[in-house]
Chains A and B, each alone.
Chain A
């Protein structure tokens, strides 16, 4: 069975602080893909990153960085120097080779000016 856990329901930070969103996943598949999506108040799912299970290299994209550790089944997401526009709900998701997505329950991030 596949499962994604985002233990942080809500996080508030002051602008310019760094913030890390946690994601822990469970799967018996050896090949799988991990994703982060941002959902602003307008409701659409904005794709942020995709990672496959064979690529544990961390990735940085501007103020965003991701730390994938298979040993702990975690795929954490850090926003550096947060901005008010980062306020949204962030979803971690796992996609198996059957193409179905399994989403976590989301973390609602509020960045206070």
Chain B
């Protein structure tokens, strides 16, 4: 079964450093997403991406965050200057379309900011 692949599975970074989380969505999917889960809390929507632009973003997704689909296969989330409170599990997801299309989550990247 097709999977959404996220790398790395765990990343440790120093506060103030830039970090890039990588995702390879399912190849024929068109819509891409990032979600965040702070330890012990619920999964929260960050951003959706379609047709090479952001279609929706939450209040969490401030100027420190950016997304990109640099080469037609990867989908990246960049945090420009990490803060301690950015420590969380980050999930990438993709879907083929609106409505009742299958929506697949990756296995997540656990980001620890020290």
Contacts and interface: CB of A to CB of B under 8 A. Distances in A.
Contact of B108 (A43, A95, A104): A43
A45 B43 contact: yes
Chain B at the A interface: SS class: strand
Contact of B48 (A100, A103, A106): A100
B95 A99 contact: yes
A99 B31 contact: yes
B51 interface: no
A103 B42 contact: yes
**What's the interface size class on A, roughly?**
20 to 34
Interface in B85-114: 89, 91, 93, 95, 98-100, 103-108, 110
Interface in A86-113: 91, 93, 95, 97-106
B56 A98 contact: yes
B107 A43 contact: yes
Nearest to A108: B40
A43 B35 contact: no
Contacts of B108: 43-45
B28 interface: no
Contact of A97 (B33, B93, B98): B98
A99 B107 contact: no
Interface string A27-66: 0000101000100000111010010100000000000000
Contacts of B107: 43-44
Nearest to A52: B100
Contacts of B44: 103
B56 A100 contact: yes
A95 B104 CA distance: 13
A43 B79 CA distance: 21
Contact of B103 (A31, A44, A91, A101): A101
| Shortest 4 CB-CB contacts between residues of A and residues of B | A44-B107, A103-B43, A103-B42, A105-B42
